[in-house]
A and B are shown apart, each in its own frame.
Chain A
Amino acid sequence: MPTANLEALVFSPELKKGSVELMVLSILESEPRHGYDIGRMIEVRSGGSIQFNITSLYPVLYRMEERGWIAGRWVERKGERRRCYYRLTQQGERVLSAQRKEWAAFTAAVNQVIEVSHA
């Protein structure tokens, strides 16, 4: 469940910044979700290690939407207030695929650098 503050963060905001778009795109790959749900899914999938608050999540969502990677649509369900659901666009799918490859290559390279030498 997402928490409303940043105190419980395990990773620094700087570390998260470079990967937040990739995380959001990955979360939206399976189905459209609203902002609160996106934050909750990131927290659940990361085992509670990564949390986002309003300040860290919404500007990113709006920026990604303006770039055409995701698209928001208001949905009203019975007994609930209307919510803006975000879905991945075709462009977003391409960006996700490219970012996944880039991230894998980057982490592999960093791991090689930080690996403890046994020589």
Chain B
Amino acid sequence: MRDWRAYLRENLDLPAMEGLREERIIEEIAGQLEDFYQEALERGMDEAAADAYARRSVPDWQELKALLASSNRAHRTPATAAAFERSEQAVRRRGGGGVWLADRLADVRQAFRTIRFAPAFWIVSLEILRGISSESTTPFTKRRYSGSKSLQAF
């Protein structure tokens, strides 16, 4: 069977993608190509025909590259999220309890990502920040006011 990862790397260069994201896309799509290949074998095709069948699943590499790049560009992963993902993968590689911990880290990352796009979260956060900011500037305002009053007296 063909090395589908190598085949993808030959045809799909994703220079604009971050390393981890590119890795993930390559692994996932290579897996899908393998699925198509296996499916074709199960349907009675010989290896050459199955290989051709799987390869036909990406008729236009430029189109795929452009679509993947645009889906990435619209919502680029922030540096903090990428760092989080890296530590998650490092923990997962340890195996055993590390897999469990990595799953929990993935949950936290997902929660932050969801919050990022939740308007209610931002409205509440801004209101709280505005509240804190008005509290902390009040003494300065009073002082400035009293200062201007004393200037008027002159």
Contact = CB atoms under 8 A, between A and B. Distances in A.
B54 A4 contact: yes
Interface in B15-37: 24-25, 27-29, 31-36
A22 B114 CA distance: 19
A71 B110 contact: yes
Q: What class of interface size applies to chain A in its complex with B?
A: 20 to 34
A81 B63 CA distance: 28
Given A35-B32, A63-B74, A81-B31, A55 B56 contact: no
Contact of A6 (B33, B59, B64, B118): B59
Interface residues of B, number: 39
Nearest to B28: A84
A58 B68 contact: yes
Interface in A45-98: 53-55, 58-60, 62-63, 66-68, 71, 73, 81, 83-84, 89-91
A53 B57 contact: yes
A62 B72 contact: yes
Contacts of A35: 28, 32
A55 B117 contact: no
Contact of A62 (B43, B54, B71): B71
Interface of B: 24-25, 27-29, 31-36, 39-40, 43, 53-54, 56-60, 63-64, 67-68, 70-72, 74-75, 77, 103, 106, 110, 113-114, 116-118
Interface of A: 1-2, 4-6, 35-36, 53-55, 58-60, 62-63, 66-68, 71, 73, 81, 83-84, 89-91
